[in-house]
Amino acid sequence: MADLTIAHAETPREERPTHRLSAGALCALPVIGLLAIGFAAPLVAILGYSVATPRSFDVFRSFTLENFAALFDPTNTVWLSFLWSCGFALFTVALLAVIAYPIAYGLNRVFGRASAFISVLFVFPLFVSENVRLYGWVLFYIKNGVLDGTLKWLGLAGGPEVLYTPGITLFGMVYTYLPFMLFPMTLGLALVPRDLVDAARDLGAGRLFIWREIELPLAMPGILIGMLLTFVLAIGATAEAKILGGQSIIVISHDIEIAFTYSQNWPAGSALAVLVTFFIGALTLFALSKLDLDRMLGRR
């Protein structure tokens, strides 16, 4: 290593070939290679398939916009799935905003030393497969299951019939994505300076005023990141509608799955995937353009 260092030191700066990659770029090459294979290549393949001849495997050998045209055909009801997915995602975000805010507030201001433990309780379910957790809820709500059986054992009428409905699908999504809303929101609230709240209170501001004028605006970047993350995850959710909802609703990601499996129509599935990806991508870029990441990360 010593020889190498001397050799470098003796090389005059102006003699270095300009086209050579910097040390940083060289070190990044393996990661760039990995990303190209693992991240970019599948996306390029999906893009290629989306313009391939319908029901074929002529990827990169054919070009047609038929797959996209079919999606916008008035007789195609795939828009129903898209609307349901958007609706579920919006409701999930709205419900989680209301549910997660008090918990995030508690983790920052109320729970004190117990905060760390309570945080772990919210993270813990993530260690268990989502499908397993959802099947657990099925056992809880199913006829003669945990809830229904217990209520009947207590001499009551039994549990409500909630399984296999759109409502239970929404419940499953709220349950699954709670941590993804909670932790960005907690981070956002943690960035609200305590002194500012105390100063406002000293100057006579009421609780609601402090919340509206100080806490909420300052925590907003965290809240918006949580909302964005939850929305993006929820719009692509399938398991909740399948396992808890009993496919009472066909969501858009399920339609994509059907195209790739039973329909044997990868080009159609790819076109749908591209369209959904562009929609989510545009939405994400729009939201991120409205966020001040510097402020969120506490750099000013």
Partner 1 sequence: MAGISRRSLLQGMGAGIGALAASPLVGSGPALAAREKELNILCWEGYNSAQVLDPFRSSTGATVKAESLTNDPTMINRLRAGEINTWDLINVNNPWARKVMLPEKLIKPLPKAEFEPFFAKMLPEFKWPYKWAMSEDGSELIGMVQRFGPYSFVVNTDKVSRKTAEDTGWDLFNDPALAGRYGILESDDWNVFNIFIIAGIDPFKVHTPDELAKFEETAKRVFKGAKLIGDIASMNQALISGEIDLHMTGGTYSVSPARADGHPNLRGITPLKGPLPGGKGGISWIEVTSTVNNPNLSPLAIEFLKYVQAPDVAHTVAFAEGTFNPVAQMGNPDCFKLFTKEELDAIQWDSLEEEMARSVEYDIVPDYDKALDIMNAAKRLRG
| Binding span for partner 1 by CB under 8 A among 80-88, 93-101, 214-222, 225-233 | 80-88
According to the binding rule CB under 8 A, does residue 264 interact with partner 1? yes
Minimum Å gap between C-beta 74 and partner 1 is 13
CA 72 – CA 86 distance, rounded (Å):
17
Q: Contacting partner 1 (CB under 8 A), which of 11, 77, 129, 150? A: 77
Q: Does 61 bind partner 1 (CB under 8 A)?
A: no
Q: Which of 42, 247, 285, 290 binds partner 1 (CB under 8 A)?
A: 247
**Which residue of 32, 69, 80, 94 would you call a contact of partner 1, by CB under 8 A?**
80
**Count of other CB atoms within 10 angstroms of residue 189:** 21
Site size toward partner 1 (CB under 8 A) is 36
Is residue 276 within a helix (H) or strand (E), and if so which, with residue range?
Answer: helix 266-289
Q: How far is the CB of 135 from partner 1 (least distance, A)?
A: 8
Site pattern 166..195 for partner 1 (x: CB under 8 A): x-----------------------------
State which residue, 57 or 286, has the beta carbon closest to partner 1. Answer: 57
Which SS3 state, helix, strand or coil, does residue 279 take? Answer: helix
Interaction of residue 246 with partner 1, rule CB under 8 A: yes
**Residue closest to 184 by CA, chosen among 86, 107, 278:** 107
Asked if residue 255 binds partner 1 (CB under 8 A), the reply is yes
Give the three-class secondary structure for 273.
helix
* CA-based nearest residue to 89, from 177, 163, 168: 177
CB of 58 to partner 1, least distance (A): 11
State yes or no: residue 258 binds partner 1 (CB under 8 A): yes
Binder to partner 1 among 1, 2, 7, 23 (CB under 8 A)?
A: 1
- Report the alpha-carbon distance of residue 240 to residue 227 in Å, rounded: 19
The string of DSSP codes covering 15-68 is GS-TTSPPHHHHHHHHHHHHHIIIIIHHHHHHHHHHTSPTTS--TTT---SHHH
Alpha carbon 196 to its chain centroid, in Å, reads 32
Smallest distance from partner 1 to CB 60, Å: 12
- Site residues for partner 1, 101-160, by CB under 8 A, read 135, 138, 142-145
User: Residue 215 or 255: which CB sits closer to partner 1?
Assistant: 255
Site for partner 1 contains 275 (CB under 8 A): no
Angle at 11 between CA 6 and CA 12, to 5 degrees: 140
DSSP alpha helix (H) spans, the chain: 2-10, 23-35, 41-50, 66-71, 78-105, 115-123, 130-141, 146-153, 166-190, 194-202, 207-210, 216-235, 239, 252-260, 266-289, 293-296
For position 263 contacting partner 1 by CB under 8 A, the verdict is yes
DSSP state of 244: I
Q: Is 57 in the site for partner 1 (CB under 8 A)?
A: yes
How many Å from the N-terminal Cα to the C-terminal Cα in the chain? 42
By CB under 8 A, name the binding residues for partner 1: 1, 4, 30, 55, 57, 76-78, 80-81, 84, 135, 138, 142-145, 163-164, 166, 242-243, 246-250, 255, 258, 260-266
